[in-house]
Amino acid sequence: MIMTPKARRSGFSLLEILLALAILGGSLAILSRIVETGTSAAIESRCLAQARLVCQSKLSEVLLDAASGLDPQTEISVPIASFDSTSTTPMNYSVEVAQGPMDGILIVRVSVAVQTADGIGTLANYSLSRWIVDSSLGLEQAEADEAAALEASAEAMPGEGGAPL
């Protein structure tokens, strides 16, 4: 039995090796794009979570001030100090106060923007809005006066036990 040259070869040809390397290179390029997309999504998600926490905190501060009688004031693009020792991401917040659709209602909107390290671009934005009663109208005082008047009238009626409804 005589063996032909093709039957004796035991390795890969140069063409097969180049084809395998081309497939491997294409696969690695696709995988690197997937990793890059995942990394950028993780960074954006982290920044959005930080912005949400800061936004909730600032809105709580504004609502507490409003509850204590201080009118909320509009503030535009105020830098925020880092809230932990490892964060170096710059953030700005703004507070917008607008008249609501009804008299005596204010709309308070707090927005937080997470900036890129160079401060030019924005990585994430988050906003929260709340409706509050306008303290300048004195509605809280009118409500307290009404409650006091109801209590006084209930105490003044001798035949009904003086218990308010």
Report residue 66's pLDDT band, with 50, 70 and 90 as the boundaries: confident
3 state SS of 110 = strand
Report residue 85's pLDDT band, with 50, 70 and 90 as the boundaries: low
Dihedral of alpha carbons 125, 130, 61, 109, sign: positive
Q: Counting every residue, how long is the chain?
A: 165
Supply the pLDDT for residue 77: 85
Q: Which domain holds residue 52?
A: 14-156
3 state SS of 157 = coil
Q: Is residue 7 part of a domain?
A: no
Q: Render pLDDT for 22-61 as a digit per residue (tens, 0 to 9).
A: 999 999 999 999 999 999 999 889 889 988 998 999 999 9
Q: Is residue 162 part of a domain?
A: no
pTM for this predicted structure: 0.63
| Better pLDDT: 73 or 118 | 73
Q: Is residue 6 part of a domain?
A: no
Dihedral of alpha carbons 152, 155, 157, 163, sign: positive
| From 8-12, 94-98, 104-108, 110-114, the region with the lowest mean pLDDT | 8-12
Q: Is residue 3 part of a domain?
A: no
Query: What is the total count of domains within the chain?
Result: 1
Q: Render pLDDT for 142-155 as a digit per residue (tens, 0 to 9).
A: 677 788 888 888 88
Dihedral of alpha carbons 8, 11, 14, 16, sign: positive
Are residues 151 and 158 in contact, defined by beta-carbon separation less than 8 angstroms?
no
For the purposes of burial, counting CB atoms within 10 Å of the CB of 105, is it exposed (0-12), middle (13-18) or buried (19 or more)?
A: middle
Residue 84 has pLDDT above 70, yes or no: no
Average pLDDT for the chain: 83
Q: Is residue 4 part of a domain?
A: no
Q: Is residue 2 part of a domain?
A: no
Are residues 115 and 121 in contact, defined by beta-carbon separation less than 8 angstroms?
yes
